[in-house]
Amino acid sequence: MYSTKIKGVGHFVPDNVVTNDDLSKIMDTSDEWIQERTGIQERRWIEDGSDENTASMGAKAARKAIENAGLTKDDIDFIIFATLSPDYFFPGSGVLIQDMLDMPTIGAVDIRNQCSGLVYSISIADQFIKTGMYKNILVIGSEYHSGALDKTTRGRGLAVLFGDGAGALVLSRSEDPSKGILSTHLHSQGEHAEVLTVKTPSIRHWVPAIIAAGEEDTSYHPFMDGQKVFKHAIVRFSEAIDEGLEANKLTAEDIDLFIPHQANLRITQFVQRRFKLSDDQVFSNIQKYGNTTAASIAIAMSEANEQGKMKDGDLVVLAAFGSGFTWGSVVIRW
């Protein structure tokens, strides 16, 4: 058996910054309400009329991750792509990214696990690498939320939370068992599927037409029972971290950096208190980007790497919870 190390990281976010004050001009909300409940100060939204999309952002993040890994596109054996905002109802955007990156005929799969998508993708890539099937796998998360949000007062409960962006990782075969991904744990509970959902696809081609038609039907906008999500998130985040630590005979004191899915600063702070982690041990960038769902952990890892926060031998813990419900954790010796 081989082990899996994260060899490269990269991210891309659209240039267009949307502040809380900008939102308060188009819906009944305020900077104070948003910051107090979520920690979010601003997010990036693809500008109206731009031809940027889920796949194009993913491809840009992927190019950076491949370069950061010191590899070329020809070294990549497989693509795992996570999103809840695919460009088409089908095919998945993984193949669109494969085409944009000019990687002919390697396999590409889409993972539809929302906020947990990146953790699931890392776990799947880890299995393929450990068993020797592939050497270098590109894992990408990308979200184009702004195309489907209800940007009126009716949709303010959700519209203020989500941002657009993409992050990517290159996972590679390693012969050193003391480093790399130590464990992954995945869970789901479909009985809560309706608590955070979009029922009518798809973002790029169907939804804009329905919105333009001014239909009364709002099933194409995301729906969320925010309080239920909050209550489950804090429990499941904690369980997933405990599970990962116990499997490796580690404790919270061993964590050098905790990178949670950037759902909500209050959720992160709750988990931080529960595990008695210092501010230095926790990475947050939700203040700048909002919740970028499947992209959030990869964007955070890419920024943490740029800031030199993941050093050789550090214990890095990832955890996510989201729609499904689905949740999971990844423990990495960097």
Catalytic residues: 115, 261, 291
Helix, coil or strand: residue 92: coil
By CB under 6 A, tell whether 156 contacts ligand ACO.
yes
- With CB under 6 A as the rule, give the number of residues binding ligand ACO: 22
What is the distance, to the nearest Å, from the Cα of residue 2 to the centroid of all Cα atoms in its chain?
26
The secondary structure of residue 195, as a DSSP letter, is: G
By CB under 6 A, tell whether 29 contacts ligand ACO.
yes
The closest residue (CB) to ligand ACO is 226
Q: Which of 55, 66, 317 is nearest to 164 (CA)?
A: 55
By CB under 6 A, tell whether 300 contacts ligand ACO.
no
Q: Which residues of 294-314 are buried (b: 16+ CB within 10 A; e: fewer)?
A: bbbbbbbbbbbbeeebbeeee
Name residues contacting ligand ACO, limited to 131-150 (CB under 6 A): none
Interaction pattern, residues 188-217, with ligand ACO; x per rule: CB under 6 A: --------x---------------------
Of the candidate spans 70-78, 167-175, 261-269, 297-305, the one that interacts with ligand ACO by CB under 6 A turns out to be: 261-269
Q: Which of 62, 80, 160, 240 binds ligand ACO (CB under 6 A)?
A: 160
- Long-range contacts formed by 24-32: CB under 8 A, 24+ apart: 26/151, 26/152, 27/151, 27/152, 27/153, 27/155, 27/156, 27/159, 28/153, 28/156, 29/153, 29/156, 29/160
By CB under 6 A, tell whether 107 contacts ligand ACO.
no
Q: Which of 6, 140, 170, 263 binds ligand ACO (CB under 6 A)?
A: 263
- For residues 105 and 153, what is the distance between their CA atoms, to the nearest angstrom? 46
Give the footprint of ligand ACO on this chain (CB under 6 A): 29, 33-34, 37-38, 115, 156-157, 160-161, 196, 226-227, 229-230, 233, 263-264, 266, 291, 321-322
